[in-house]
Amino acid sequence: MRCLGYAFRNEDKFVRFDRYLQEYPDAANRPFEKLARDYIGIAPAASEKMQRLSVARVVAGALQRSGIAAVKPVGDRLVRQQMVRTRTRPYIYTKADVQKLLKMAGNFGSSKHPLRAATLRCMIALAYCAGLRISELLGLKMRDVRLADGTVEIRESKFFKSRCLPLSSSAVKVLRDYMKVRAQADAPSGEQAALFCHGGKGYSRAGGSHLLRIVIQCAGLKPTKGRGGARIHDLRHTFVVHRMTQWYQEGINPEGRLAHLAAYLGHRDINSTLVEGIK
């Protein structure tokens, strides 16, 4: 199905459970609850245990609807608490932090990759000003940028959602400056060409994330080792927090605008937006 273009990402967790069951000795004669418990028990981390529990409960429900006796495994409160304790907490950037990132990105010039500094600066600006995910940033094509309207088009993102986003004047200026540098570097200009590219090709998710992580480290916001400190995705959290804070400062009740904010971010509903803002 992936070869046909379908973006199946979450189905892998069911495939892994299926593979485990196929390799389990005499699985057909074991109670489903024991199989599920054993599968959950060998997970290396609390978050993985909770994900496996969710998968097992979905499968058990499907078996029950088919007339097969299957007991749904019950969640473990201690495991859930451990997952919450070990979850990476978002870093909310200050406006000074964002300025520091933009300035640091401008120092990443390279004779071999003349677009690198402008690319990183534009990525950071869009991540902060539009709350874009890293996959959305790296998935932008030339056809998606409309400088005359001051908008960018996000196509088939998470939950298969597409949306047209109006940008702030400061974000449009950074994007316009980037497009000028991009043209001077003779980067591919076709509609299907990647907006952010090097050597004529678009950045991979691993490559783009690596460069942005180095910028954050050089700005002193993340240690060189470990999972602590700021992440590029935290700019998305920061976008939500700063947007809602500004509404409060302007005397506007954000509750009436959460649906608009959820649509802008590409969320399924406002519950995801609230989580984004309070993590």
Catalytic residues: 133, 158
Cβ-count burial of 142 within 10 angstroms (0-12 exposed, 13-18 middle, 19+ buried)?
middle
- CA separation, residue 271 to residues 11, 39, 165, 261, 278 (Å): 23, 30, 20, 11, 11
> Is residue 47 a contact partner of residue 86, using CB atoms and an 8 Å limit?
yes
Instruction: State which H helix or E strand residue 163 sits in.
Output: strand 163-166
* Tokens (6 digits) for 192: 């299907």
Q: Which residues contact 30 (CB under 8 A, 6 or more apart)?
A: 24
CA-CA distance, 130 to 117, in Å (whole number)?
A: 20
- Angle between the 234-249 and 258-265 helix axes, to the nearest 10 degrees? 160
CA-CA distance, 107 to 128, in Å (whole number)?
A: 19
CA-CA distance, 107 to 151, in Å (whole number)?
A: 27
